[in-house]
Amino acid sequence: MIKKKTMKNNIIVIAAVLLGTLLSFNFASAQSCPSLTSVDGTAVNFVGELTDTGGDSYTITWFEYGKTKSYGQKTSEQTLTQTGLYCITVSNLSPCTIYNYRAVAKNTAGTSYGENKTFTTTCDSSAVSIRANGYDGYVTISYNNSADLSWTSYNANYCYASGDWSGTKSLSGSQITGILTSSKTYTITCTGSGGSISDSVIVNVSGQTYADFSVYKTVRNLSKGTVYSDLAYADPGEVLNFRIAVKAGSNPLYNLVVRDTLPSGLVYIGDLRVDNILTSGNVLTGLNIGSLSAYQEKVVTFRADVAGSESFTFGQTQLTNTVSVTSGSISRSNSVSSGSISRSDIASVSVTRAAVAGAATAVSTGLTNNIFLDSFFLPLMISLLIIWLLKSRIIKFEEWLDLRKKEYQIYKSKKILQLKIAKIKTRELFQRII
């Protein structure tokens, strides 16, 4: 009986401990949630509140989130047995990005959604984001309409546009594209202390009469071994390689001419290639790359060198390289139209000329700045000239020396005489005293 009583007491104690632990866990979980959603770097701690269970014994809750109001992603689910705060943490989000989110709850009565809210992840380095009509990445508009571009940047000093627009842009702003009849790609690149970063948005035009073609210009620093990008960093004298990708849309193109414009500070070298095949011609005056079938792409590459240091001031110099591609005709509905279409793009090179600490200055090292002439030949010639002058008696050095000797002898005789007179006077005075 004692043994059974002891076992029963132990079961009661264990049950009480487990119940207390569960109650403590639920209480601690509720207390561990802050009152508001918070961001820490690229992690977010979502906070929601279940205000009514609807009489059900439990409710399933979660959060939906994403870069647009379409969300597209969801957190893990939590099961709640009572009203109150609940929180879920998500990590490894994109830095410096605006996210939309909302709370979701589901029970036997159905699914309930909270209002849309936003948060922004922390920016660790230079960052930029561009949208069209409020959408990131891709948006579709009707034929013969325009789109509203908007962009923001972080930790940037300047921004510039490429793709189907160009020029220097403010660090944040907006711009109307104008009437569009074909799909366009808008890219913005911003550079700051954290480096350079780009973002693009594609505006797709529905109901367009024919497909267009695209041009994408990039550059790489061969001397540093970098990859192709919209912006390359270089020092004077380094070697660059430019890449121009031309891609047709859903219809063929004919007589495509690629013409590149190099700014001052970049020197065209050659090594001109089309689809990696060495090609004759000159991309600076216009290179005909022939025709493209639907969706076909051709790639033109060439080499250019950065000019020497004398071509740049100290600090950074931004060089913009522009390419223009013109189609002589385009095929539509199995017929060829003679209409010409042009597209352009840019790639930039940031050249740094640094001042060298302790650099040698242009101080003269002698009469001729030749170490052999200044240290040996000229001193020898001067010595021989002096010897010749003395030997030829043009300079009467011996006469001058004899005169100096006579003057010294007279001076010495006078001094000896004065000493003798002084001794005689001293002797006479001494005798008088005695």
**DSSP per-residue letters across 282-301:** -TTT-EEEEEE-TT-EEEEE
State which of 155, 177, 209 marks the end of a domain.
Answer: 209
Residues 338 and 270 in one domain: yes
Q: How far apart are CA 183 and CA 239, in angstroms?
A: 35
Phi, psi angles (nearest 5°) of residue 137: 90, -55
3-state SS of 213-262 is CEEEEEEEECCCCCCCECEEEECCCCEEEEEEEEECCCCCEEEEEEEEEC
Contact 316, 245 (CB under 8 A): no
Contact 245, 276 (CB under 8 A): no
> Taking all residues of the chain, what is their mean pLDDT, rounded to a whole number?
80
Residues 250 and 292 in one domain: yes
Q: Is 27 exposed, middle or buried (0-12, 13-18, 19+ CB in 10 A)?
A: exposed
Residues 219 and 346 in one domain: yes
Q: How far apart are CA 93 and CA 87, in angstroms?
A: 17
Question: The domain spanning residue 280 has which CATH number?
Answer: 2.60.40.1530
Residues 131 and 109 in one domain: no
Is residue 360 one of the residues assigned to a domain?
no
Closest CA to 332 of 181, 116, 112, 192: 181
Is residue 62 one of the residues assigned to a domain?
yes
Q: How crowded is residue 13: how many other Cβ atoms within 10 Å of its Cβ?
A: 10
Residues 274 and 228 in one domain: yes
Q: How far apart are CA 6 and CA 11, in angstroms?
A: 9
Confidence label for 400 from pLDDT (cuts 50, 70 and 90): confident
Q: What percent of the chain has pLDDT over 90?
A: 33
Is residue 421 one of the residues assigned to a domain?
no
What pLDDT does residue 417 have? Answer: 82
**Is 357 or 78 the better-scoring residue by pLDDT?**
78
State which of 354, 386, 404 marks the end of a domain.
Answer: 354
What pLDDT does residue 22 have? Answer: 34
- For residues 213-229, give the mean pLDDT: 90
Is residue 178 one of the residues assigned to a domain?
yes
Residues 340 and 246 in one domain: yes
Segments forming the whole domain that contains residue 227: 213-354
- For residues 288-293, give the mean pLDDT: 89
**Is 298 or 388 the better-scoring residue by pLDDT?**
298
For residue 422, give the DSSP letter. Answer: H
What pLDDT does residue 357 have? Answer: 46
Residues 257 and 275 in one domain: yes
Is residue 432 one of the residues assigned to a domain?
no
Is residue 260 one of the residues assigned to a domain?
yes
Q: Is the pTM of this model over 0.75?
A: no
Count of domains in the chain? 4
Residues 21 and 45 in one domain: no
Query: Is the pLDDT confidence value at 392 over 80?
Result: no
Residues 106 and 166 in one domain: no
Residues 129 and 10 in one domain: no
Residues 251 and 330 in one domain: yes
Query: Is the pLDDT confidence value at 233 over 80?
Result: yes
**Is 240 or 362 the better-scoring residue by pLDDT?**
240
Is residue 336 one of the residues assigned to a domain?
yes
**Is 250 or 147 the better-scoring residue by pLDDT?**
147
State which of 179, 209, 239 marks the end of a domain.
Answer: 209
Residues 222 and 344 in one domain: yes
Is residue 426 one of the residues assigned to a domain?
no
Question: The domain spanning residue 185 has which CATH number?
Answer: 2.60.40.10
Q: In sequence order, what are the beta bridge partners of 337?
A: 330
